[in-house]
Amino acid sequence: MNAVRNYQKELDKVLENLGTDRAPRLLLHSCCAPCSSYVLEYLRQYFQITVFYYNPNISLEEEYQKRVKEQKRLIASYNEQGKDKEKTTAEKRYPIRILEGEYDPKEFLEMAKGMEECPEGGKRCFACYEMRLGKTARTAAEGNFEYFTTTLTISPLKNAIKLNEIGERLEKEYGVKWLVSDFKKRDGYKRSIELSKEYKLYRQDYCGCVYSRRESDKIVEK
């Protein structure tokens, strides 16, 4: 029987071994501002981060624009704080950049064909992970990033084991290091809620796709 991996401890070891000469470049796939809030706060002392906002799973353009706007607002706030000359060297953080991927919801719907009735958190969601992480890995390779990862592991509703499994496979395929994670650990999810309140971020109640919205509506109806 295989031992259960502790991704947080594995991440600790990676961070300990980064060195201090130059912060490596990390392409961080983000699903939304609330989920990225803690991850950015945590990792920006170790990496030069570019947030890759690529989420064609969001069905409605109005919803997509609302979420990406919040992502940009949060990053701008973090970067403004980093300019504070009163902060000590240890408190200062690397500037965060953002790269917005192409938004084409047809891409997601095409991928989801035949899986429309799959329950949330199952086969369709895993295919969605694959689609978004695959694009992130390709973009990281093309941009000469040293690492790539995703904010998705912060959510209690997302499968961290599957996400890391996909990421490690893509590392071999594209030659960019996958940064293992389970960001919900050590109260990461709790901290993301605190930061969302602090920055007054819009917190959606479904992942973004038409199928998760359908499930969310069923819960509300009950």
The predicted-structure confidence for 138-155, as pLDDT tens digits, reads as follows 999 999 999 999 999 999
Q: How confident is the model at residue 111 (pLDDT cuts 50, 70, 90)?
A: very high
| Confidence (pLDDT) at 222 | 46
14 inside domain: no
Look up the domain containing 61 and give its range. Answer: 22-221
Residue 4 maps to a domain: no
Q: What is the CATH number of the domain that holds 68?
A: 3.40.50.620
Instruction: Give the CA distances from residue 152 to residues 22, 175, 181, in Å, rounded to whole numbers and listed in that order.
Output: 26, 21, 9
Residue 66 lies in a domain: yes
Query: Cα–Cα distance between 29 and 166 in angstroms, integer?
Result: 14
pLDDT digits (tens, 9 = 90+) for 168-220: 999 999 999 999 999 999 999 999 999 999 999 999 888 889 888 776 555 44
For residue 2, is it within any domain?
no
Instruction: Report yes or no on 84 lying in a domain.
Output: yes
Strands of the sheet with 97-100, listed across from one edge = 97-100, 48-53, 25-29, 147-150, 177-178
140-145 contact pairs (CB < 8 A, 24+): 140/27, 140/52, 140/174, 140/176, 141/174, 141/175, 141/176, 143/25, 143/27, 143/50, 144/25, 145/25, 145/26, 145/27, 145/50, 145/176
Q: Quick check: is 91 in a domain?
A: yes
pLDDT in tens, 51-89: 999 999 999 999 999 999 999 999 999 999 877 655 544
Does residue 87 lie in a domain region?
Answer: yes
What is the total count of domains within the chain? Answer: 1
0.85 surpassed by pTM: yes
Give the integer Cα–Cα distance in Å for 4 and 24.
Answer: 28
* Per-residue pLDDT reduced to its tens digit, 7-19: 999 999 999 999 7
Residue 22: per-residue pLDDT:
87
The answer to whether residue 74 is domain-embedded is yes
